[in-house]
């Protein structure tokens, strides 16, 4: 078994396999360290917007989180600790990228190219994440900018921002964390906003040492805290998914937050979304609005359209000067960057997903035997911790591997009808939600088909029930292969 990726999903998968007695695993990681998005995103202010005690693996609870919402560096340290506690040792190969994977129908194995020694595996798990490849928008003249230019996910720490005029493009989750930090350092910040976000209070703060010691001494208390945070997250599904009463209450809370922190009516209007609450990712911040309302930040309420040297022109026609340009413009989430590299029985994942990602159970894909995708089609959340979803997928993989081992061919092929039915199930559940009807453009929906392909349109509990209720009927009936043999060195 080969697992590609050593972020939350990959480490969850490796741990689940080992606890199931499957030690013949190999984890491939293209970078020099574990951590995924928390390794790559090191911009000032980077942190999680899910409470840390829930944004943890169930098998590795952590009583020692220092803050309610952990910083990126603390999460990265946690994942390093998880990898060490899982004892992966030489099962973890760093600086080993997936360059290609092809299904070998003759021997019923995946042949994986890493640029070094070839790897052969009975089964392949793609735990490559959604937020791995930065999205760089097509802005006329962007290459002509004559100062430092970088994406928020590839932060250049060699650039001293002190006394600099900094322009930030985007007002999503990264920008909301980043802008208050830049406002403290830079001479001035210009923020280009294409679309305002719904923002709610964050709260939280430092966790006292005494509380951390209490949770460490009483594991049951830590488990209860995690259960309470999980229940709170599940309750948020109603407001994110379009329940009229819950959405109205959440919208009113967000507007009260805006009015309490921004006194200027014109600025408030520019920061007020014109689309349904939940249509785009709802953000958490107590610092963003005060920063934007301060003299340290100028809000340009339209998109950046043209760059000419150090002059930045907005869609409004306004021109701004900048010494440093930061693109907080998100990621290529709907079109997974690894999809071109994986070739199944007849085509690549990219070709199979040319009209948007599809699957059964958000995990297995027709035409790709013994392949499992974590954090892929409809496996993200807008209301709770996505780590919970990866753990449910890992548990499903363990169960389906047990089914595979009972087959003479040891091959699991997803029935196309099962994938099609699951896709229709998702479409029906999503049809009336704000993600499709709320009047915004979001990264949850694939523009090529208009389908919701990133989010699971239900609660975590519903996802758990959907996967635990799968009885193997999603796969073609078992049969004895014409040829098939054990291959030396397989995983």
Q: Which domains does the chain have, with CATH numbers?
A: 2-133+332-468 (3.50.50.60), 142-198+243-327 (3.50.50.60)
Residues linked to residue 284 through DSSP beta bridges, in sequence order: 200
Q: How many Cα atoms sit within 13 Å of 104 on the Cβ side?
A: 20
Q: Average pLDDT of the chain?
A: 95
Encode pLDDT of 235-249 as tens digits: 999 999 999 999 999
Q: Looking at residue 124, what DSSP letter applies?
A: E
pLDDT at 131: 76
pTM of the shown model: 0.94
Helix and strand totals (H; E) in the chain: 15, 21
Label residues 318-349 b or e (16+ Cβ within 10 Å = b).
Answer: eebebbbbbbbbbbebbbbebbebbbbeeebb
pLDDT at 491: 53
Backbone angles phi, psi at 167, to 5 degrees: -110, 135
3-state secondary structure 35-96: CCHHHHCCCCCCECCCCCCCCCCCCCCCCCCCECCCEHHHHHHHHHHHHHHCCCHHHEECCC
> Which residue is listed with tokens 């829930």?
54
Among residues 443, 451, 449, which one has the least CA distance to residue 425? 451
Q: How many whole angstroms separate alpha carbon 15 and alpha carbon 60?
A: 10
pLDDT at 303: 97
DSSP letters spanning 400-451? HHHHHHTSSS----B-HHHHHHHHHHHHHHHTTSHHHHSS---TTEETTTTE
Name residues of the chain where pLDDT drops below 50: 480-490
Among residues 413, 416, 422, which one has the least CA distance to residue 463? 422
Give the list of residues 6+ apart from residue 60 with CB closer than 8 angstroms, or none: 15, 78, 81, 82, 85
482-489's contacts with Cβ under 8 Å and 24+ in sequence apart are 483/106, 484/107, 484/108, 484/408, 484/409, 484/410, 484/411, 485/107, 487/107, 487/109, 487/120, 489/120
Q: How many whole angstroms separate alpha carbon 418 and alpha carbon 398?
A: 20
**CB of 155 closer than 8 Å to CB of 43:** yes
pLDDT at 479: 63
Label residues 85-122 b or e (16+ Cβ within 10 Å = b).
Answer: ebebeebbbeebbbebbebeeebbbbbbebeeeebbbb
């Amino acid at each position: 078994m080969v697992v590609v990726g050593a972020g939350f999903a990959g480490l969850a998968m490796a741990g689940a396999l080992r606890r199931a007695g499957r030690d013949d695993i190999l984890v491939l990681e293209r970078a020099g360290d574990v951590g995924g998005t928390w390794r790559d995103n090191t911009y000032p202010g980077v942190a999680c917007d899910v409470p840390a005690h829930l944004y943890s693996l169930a098998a590795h609870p952590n009583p020692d989180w220092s803050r309610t919402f952990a910083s990126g560096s603390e999460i990265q340290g946690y994942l390093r600790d998880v990898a060490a506690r899982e004892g992966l040792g030489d099962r973890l190969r760093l600086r080993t990228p997936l360059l290609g994977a092809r299904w070998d129908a003759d021997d019923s194995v995946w042949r994986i190219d890493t640029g070094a020694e070839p790897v052969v595996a009975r089964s392949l798990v793609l735990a490559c994440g959604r937020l791995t490849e930065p999205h760089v928008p097509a802005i006329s003249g962007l290459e002509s900018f004559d100062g430092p230019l970088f994406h928020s996910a590839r932060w250049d720490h060699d650039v001293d921002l002190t006394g600099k005029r900094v322009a930030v493009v985007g007002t999503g989750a990264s920008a909301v964390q980043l802008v208050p930090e830049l406002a403290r350092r830079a001479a001035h910040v210009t923020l280009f906003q294409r679309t305002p976000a719904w923002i709610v209070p964050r709260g939280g703060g430092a966790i006292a040492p005494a509380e951390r010691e209490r949770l460490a001494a009483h594991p049951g208390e830590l488990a209860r805290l995690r259960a309470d945070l999980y229940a709170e997250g599940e309750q948020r599904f109603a407001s994110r998914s379009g329940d009229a009463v819950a959405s109205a209450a959440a919208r009113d809370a967000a507007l009260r937050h805006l009015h309490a922190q921004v006194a200027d009516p014109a600025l408030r209007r520019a920061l007020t979304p014109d689309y349904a609450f939940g249509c785009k990712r709802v953000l958490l911040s107590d610092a963003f609005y005060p920063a934007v309302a301060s003299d340290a930040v100028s809000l340009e309420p339209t998109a950046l359209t043209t760059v000419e040297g150090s002059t930045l022109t907005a869609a409004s026609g306004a021109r701004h000067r900048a010494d440093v340009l930061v693109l907080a413009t998100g990621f290529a989430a709907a079109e997974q960057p690894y999809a071109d590299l994986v070739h199944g029985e007849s085509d690549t994942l990219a070709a199979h997903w040319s009209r948007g990602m599809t699957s059964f159970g958000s995990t297995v894909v027709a035409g790709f035997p013994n392949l499992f995708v974590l954090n892929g089609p409809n496996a993200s959340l807008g209301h709770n911790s996505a780590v919970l979803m990866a753990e449910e997928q890992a548990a499903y993989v363990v169960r389906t591997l047990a089914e595979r081992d009972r087959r003479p061919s040891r091959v699991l092929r997803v029935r196309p009808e099962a994938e099609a039915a699951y896709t229709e199930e998702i479409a029906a559940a999503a049809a009336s939600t704000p993600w499709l009807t709320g009047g915004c453009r979001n990264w949850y929906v694939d523009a090529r088909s208009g389908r919701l392909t990133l989010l699971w349109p239900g609660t975590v509990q519903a996802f758990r029930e959907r996967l635990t209720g799968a009885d193997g009927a999603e796969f073609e009936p078992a049969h004895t292969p014409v040829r098939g043999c054990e291959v030396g060195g397989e995983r």
